[in-house]
Amino acid sequence: MAMENVKQFVFVLSAAAAVGFVCIVFVLRWVLYFREGLAWDGGAAEFNWHPVLIVTGFIFLQGIAIVVYRLPWTWSCSKLMMKLIHAGLNLLAFVFAVISLVAVFDFHNAAKIPNMYSLHSWVGLSAVILYALQILLGIGVYLIPITPVSIRAAFMPIHVYSGLFIFTSVVATALMGITEKLIFSLKDPAYKNSPPEATFVNVLGILIVIFGALILWIATRTSWKRPSDQVLHTLHTNGGGEANSKVGPTMSQLSGGGDTEAFGDVRRRSSKLDDQVD
């Protein structure tokens, strides 16, 4: 990655981290200042763990987990270590999501409110189930050493797409959750009269959208990928579905130089197929 490109990356990453951090501050101020605070008592203060854990874990931590391979200063670390960090952050985000579900089910049961009636709950629970499946399949395909390289390569476009799809679904679910909660809890003045809490939490919703947009921008910039993963992408671009027959030309293009420093031009690096998909 050229230095100019690294500067742009660091700028967008810093913006994402800053917006994500402000989201966490906003959700904490929402529940601590405007609402009933945090507790584990079956009441409204237990419900409040739901937005706090979703924003902190299922949105912020998952977002960071998605872009962790992009950090140029990790490109000298082993791929295995980066995969463990990626998996670890996603597992942590999953734990946050599960505890946040327990909080809202507990609250509903104590208050005799039905569970799973809303579109928010349908999309949200689907996202959590798909996330569990994504983590299990990710571990099985990319962390269990015996999985063949051909399966790893074939599954990568699905792994990447479903990761971004789940993340986007979580952001959309959070927007529905904010909408529901403001309608249900603001009564006098109501949501439609725009009391300070309504405006404040709408801004939180906009900030969550901006955080999501920045993470998706980072994740989809091919030139910001970890060098060995850029190679895989080029291979997919040129090879389409029939990888085996078309590896040849791409590989020969890539093996022109022996330059292996971490920030080198990808086309000058020698590279093995193994390294691109493990």
- List of residues contacting its own copies (CB under 8 A): 1-2, 4-5, 8, 113-114, 117-120, 122-123, 126, 157, 161, 165, 168-169, 171-172, 175-176, 178-180, 182-184, 191-194, 198, 201-202, 205-206, 209, 213, 216-217, 220-223, 230, 233-234, 236-242, 249, 253, 266-267
Judged by DSSP in three states, 187 sits in strand
Q: How far is the CB of 80 from its own copies (least distance, A)?
A: 25
Q: How far is the CB of 59 from its own copies (least distance, A)?
A: 13
Complete DSSP assignment for 189-225? TBGGG--HHHHHHHHHHHHHHHHHHHHHHHHH-GGGS
Q: How far is the CB of 119 from its own copies (least distance, A)?
A: 4
Q: How far is the CB of 50 from its own copies (least distance, A)?
A: 16
Q: In angstroms, rounded to a whole number, what is the distance separating the alpha carbons of residues 36 and 261?
A: 54
Q: How far is the CB of 153 from its own copies (least distance, A)?
A: 14
Is residue 21 within 8 A of residue 207, CB to CB? The reply is no
Q: How far is CA 197 from CA 36, 144, 272, in A?
A: 13, 48, 55
Q: Which is nearer to its own copies, 221 or 272 (CB)?
A: 221
Q: In angstroms, rounded to a whole number, what is the distance separating the alpha carbons of residues 172 and 54?
A: 12
Q: In angstroms, rounded to a whole number, what is the distance separating the alpha carbons of residues 227 and 69?
A: 10
Q: Which is nearer to its own copies, 74 or 179 (CB)?
A: 179
Copy the structure tokens of residue 186.
């603001």
Q: Which is nearer to its own copies, 63 or 89 (CB)?
A: 63
Q: Which is nearer to its own copies, 89 or 170 (CB)?
A: 170
Q: How far is CA 196 from CA 99, 141, 199, in A?
A: 29, 48, 5
- Which among 200, 183, 184 is positioned nearest to 192, based on CA atoms? 183
Q: Which is nearer to its own copies, 84 or 203 (CB)?
A: 203
Q: Which is nearer to its own copies, 84 or 255 (CB)?
A: 255
Q: Residues 228-255, buried b or exposed e (16+ Cβ, 10 A)?
A: bbbbbbbbbeebeeebeeeeeebeeebe
Q: How far is the CB of 86 from its own copies (least distance, A)?
A: 20
